Amino acid sequence: MFPEATVRSQVLQPPYIYRWAVLIAATVILAALVLRAFQPDPAAADKAPAAPPKPAPVKQVSPVAADVIRQLDTTGKIVALTFDDGPDPEQTPQVLDLLAEHGAVATFCMVGAQARRHPDLVREVVDAGMRLCNHTVHHDERLATRPAAAIEKELLDAGAALRDAAGADVPIGYFRAPGGNWTEPLAKTAAQHGMRPLGWSVDPRDWSRPGVKKIVAAVEKNVRPGSVVLLHDGGGKRDQTVAALRTLLPWLTDQGYRFTYPA
């Protein structure tokens, strides 16, 4: 009886041994796979995203005089036309057409928010041979009372909007305070960033829509050699200004005036 049991045991033993061997081997393989999954992949490290490129350096500008230009330093019959609060998709192209028709040039004091909305018009103004003037981002007429950091941000952000639209190399040589509300710190901040503070000597108050005849009469009465004339191509409906310009441009030419930029 015992020999028979021993033989049976010997017959049954090998399969169990194999099963344990297979189970142990599978466990070892599984553990190896798990460990490998958590190990860093050297190839992945080589594929890590590159650091973002450094921004292009800001073009350095030289400080300029901080006195506000209100009148040109000339005794000749020269006038500087300026247009505020654009660009505007309806009025700015009409103004450009009239200037081109009469061989006139002008300076456009643009609001940064408008330049962002209509970058094509900023380029059109520059391509027409006109000059740009920084008129802040939001046309805040109380800007001069704000903290220095807020003032600088308005000027720099507006300048960035104009350059993004017109090109980094397009000069922005002037700054005009919203509402003409100047303070010495505001003028100095503009000057430190290479922009001459730009005021005016003739204001027909066209923004108030007094009527075409009154706009024309105010300019004709007050213009002098070297005058800086304030007009508007944006900030509201400016059809009266456009209509007045149709009369004023030929009248100024007939009076012997030539057109130039503020200096």
**Residues designated catalytic:** 84, 232
Among residues 159, 162, 111, 100, which one has the least CA distance to residue 135? 111
Helix (H) or strand (E) holding 164: helix 148-166
3-state secondary structure 119-158: HHHHHHHHHCCCEEEECCCCCCCCHHHCCHHHHHHHHHHH
Helix (H, G, I), strand (E, B) or coil at 47: coil
DSSP state of 20: H
CA 146, distance to chain mean position in Å, is 21
CB 228 within 8 A of CB 202: yes
Give CA–CA dist 89/137, Å, rounded: 18
Strand-pair category, 258-259 with 172-175: unpaired
Helix (H, G, I), strand (E, B) or coil at 252: helix
